Amino acid sequence: MPPNTGVEVVRAARDAELTRQRILDAAIDAFAEHGFDGASTRVIAGKAGVDPRLIGRYFGSKEGLFEHVVQTTFEHPLMMVPGHNREMARSLLNDPPEGQSKALLLTIRSAGSVRAVEIMQRHIESHYQRDLADRLPSGKVDAFARAALLIAVCSGVQMQRNVLGNKGLEGKAPAALVDRLAAVLDLLGS
């Protein structure tokens, strides 16, 4: 049997990464729809079109997969730093709701699982909240607590707009509303 060529090795690595990504995408949808306890690895594998054993191969376990899902869906490229919150406010009020709502639905539907809550809390506090706190100016109130409050306010806006469909937040937000939310975020962060 001839040895693997470089092309075959690259193709196998690419196929493995595509399979891993299909599992991750299917898991995001499944956890958002059914929560941690309700989404089985068999259902996730079926949505991904793969053998359920591949979840263990790529992620170790359902819990390991959930950790990767949390890491992916709780990514926050925008930082709520005073003086720079207009873009965050605009995003919260105007971006398509699908991406924002998946993280919220995953949170809501997984909140009944003690282990899922531990994973989400650990990830938010040690990554996003810590990164945000490190970028906030020093103040009378602890930066880590201010970061938690900023995240809570943004989660509340997302909940009202993208999950509950609050009529006051539907459609393209007027500039004045974006400016008010930006001012609130600036105040909380300072």
* pLDDT (tens digit per residue) in 68-106: 999 988 876 556 788 889 988 998 999 887 767 788 899
| C-alpha–C-alpha distance, residues 117 and 182, integer Å | 29
- The structure's pTM equals 0.80
pLDDT at residue 66 in the model: 97
Tokens of 60: 């170790």
Identify the pLDDT of residue 2.
54
Amino acid 7: pLDDT: 46
CB 168 within 8 A of CB 80: no
pLDDT at 5: 58
Structure tokens at 133: 């706190």
The reported pLDDT for the residue numbered 6 is 52
Mark the ranges of the chain whose per-residue pLDDT is less than 50: 7-10, 12
